[in-house]
Amino acid sequence: MPKVSICVPAYKNPEGIARLLASVAGQTFADYEVIVTDDSPDESVEAVVRKADIANLFYHKNEKRLGATANWNEAVRRARGVYIKMMHHDDWFCDADSLGRFVALLDGAPGAVLAFSGSMQITLSQGRETGGFARGISGGQEALLRSDWRNLFLGNVIGAPSATIYRKNPNVYEEALTWLMDMEYYMRLLREKPAFACTAEPLVCIGVSESQLTESCRADGELNLFEYGWLFREFGLLGEKKYRDKMVEVALKFKIPYRGLKPYGIPRKEYQKASRKKQREDFWFLLGVARRKILERCGMAGKKRTDGNKNDE
């Protein structure tokens, strides 16, 4: 039995798979297996996998397309490792010691159900890296999460699945969700055992592009409200105002009227108060933008007059 199962739910993107597998092959920690479950309609991913120089690599082609979340579950279901290390096909390990440091996080915290790291968020354009920045949990965010696992609802400070490693367990990702299934899974694990290990150090690179499912979900207001509402109900968050405020925040962000929140038990007065506050904030923000534009235009006009006077001289 391997120590770690690196689970790779794949869908198309042979270039990303090749980059990921190359980063796996270069790891100094070697007690692992790689499980690739392929949901692609063609053989492009398989062709890349067959060329990879990795001994314990197992490829499975789904007989019919499962969809994103079910494909995650299929990869984990086939895993034999003590630890599960999800790696999505857009992502890769930052350096040769990344996997070993993930393992050390869990080994060093026997009571922890999962561990997570910081990440490098890498912008990809046509498969090429065009920029990036580091993302990692802050001390304040860690303290907030340790004080109450439910505070993860306020913001996913754990990060993408590729930034996590966890002990194999019977839980599966919720297939009714397409956007917050990772956050829902983390919250379920922490509800059972609220202990985790973490580091802000970036151990994985997260590839970000406009074509990803994540990016399309981010802009879908109805989907966001439905999935936040799912977590809101599942974890019984109605009783605390900070969690109700989060639901109101989601609704206002996407200009969803109160009737969208009513089924979740959010008081109308709380929505109305937050709505008025946001209207004021939006007004002063837009006024500031308009003021800056006027000043910029005045500055440009003044510069033109000055330049014209110099030319006359």
How far apart, in Å, are the Cα atoms of 267 and each of 38, 201, 230, 281?
A: 45, 41, 18, 22
Confidence of residue 294 (pLDDT cuts 50, 70, 90): confident
What percent of the chain has a predicted confidence (pLDDT) above 70? 92
Contact of 96 with 17, CB cutoff 8 Å: no
Q: What is the mean pLDDT of the chain?
A: 92
Statement to judge: residues 94 and 202 lie in one domain: yes
Statement to judge: residues 167 and 257 lie in one domain: no
The label of the residue with tokens 């592009």 reads 209
Statement to judge: residues 132 and 28 lie in one domain: yes
Write down the pLDDT at residue 287.
Answer: 79
* pLDDT above 70: residue 127: no
Q: Which has the minimum average pLDDT: 140-154, 159-173, 288-302?
A: 288-302
* pLDDT above 70: residue 168: yes
Residue 162: closest CA among 95, 115, 218: 115
Question: If 0-12 CB within 10 Å is exposed, 13-18 middle and 19+ buried, where does residue 71 land?
Answer: buried
Say if 182 falls within a structural domain. yes
* pLDDT above 80: residue 148: yes
Per-residue pLDDT, averaged over 79-97, amounts to 97
28 versus 127: the higher-pLDDT residue is 28
The CATH number that applies at residue 105 is 3.90.550.10
Statement to judge: residues 172 and 236 lie in one domain: no
Statement to judge: residues 147 and 228 lie in one domain: no
Total domain count, the chain: 2
Write down the pLDDT at residue 71.
Answer: 97
Q: Residues near 287 by Cβ (< 8 Å), separated by ≥ 6? A: none
Statement to judge: residues 154 and 225 lie in one domain: no
Contact of 11 with 40, CB cutoff 8 Å: yes
Statement to judge: residues 94 and 237 lie in one domain: no
Task: Give the model confidence (pLDDT) of 206-264 as tens digits.
Answer: 998 765 566 678 789 999 999 999 999 999 999 999 999 999 999 999 999 999 999 99
Strands 114-125 and 164-167, sheet pairing? antiparallel
Say if 269 falls within a structural domain. yes
Confidence of residue 308 (pLDDT cuts 50, 70, 90): low
145 versus 207: the higher-pLDDT residue is 145
137 versus 280: the higher-pLDDT residue is 137
Write down the pLDDT at residue 296.
Answer: 83
CA angle 259, 151, 75 (to 5 degrees): 95
* pLDDT above 70: residue 165: yes
Say if 188 falls within a structural domain. yes
Per-residue pLDDT, averaged over 95-108, amounts to 98
Statement to judge: residues 30 and 125 lie in one domain: yes
Contact of 172 with 256, CB cutoff 8 Å: no
Write down the pLDDT at residue 255.
Answer: 94
Say if 139 falls within a structural domain. yes
Write down the pLDDT at residue 225.
Answer: 97
Say if 128 falls within a structural domain. yes
How far apart, in Å, are the Cα atoms of 308 and each of 81, 298, 312?
A: 75, 15, 6
Q: Which domain holds residue 88?
A: 4-209
CA dist 299 and 175 (Å) reads 56
Could you tell me the pTM of the whole model? 0.88
Identify residue 166 by its one-letter amino acid code.
Y
Statement to judge: residues 103 and 244 lie in one domain: no
Q: Residues near 306 by Cβ (< 8 Å), separated by ≥ 6? A: none
Domain boundary among 209, 228, 245: 209
Q: Which has the minimum average pLDDT: 127-131, 264-268, 284-288?
A: 127-131
Say if 312 falls within a structural domain. no
284 versus 121: the higher-pLDDT residue is 121
Say if 305 falls within a structural domain. no
* pLDDT above 70: residue 305: no
Statement to judge: residues 56 and 197 lie in one domain: yes
Say if 235 falls within a structural domain. yes
Statement to judge: residues 22 and 97 lie in one domain: yes
H helix count then E strand count, the chain: 10, 9
Confidence of residue 301 (pLDDT cuts 50, 70, 90): low
* pLDDT above 80: residue 283: no
Statement to judge: residues 52 and 192 lie in one domain: yes
Identify residue 71 by its one-letter amino acid code.
N
Confidence of residue 289 (pLDDT cuts 50, 70, 90): confident
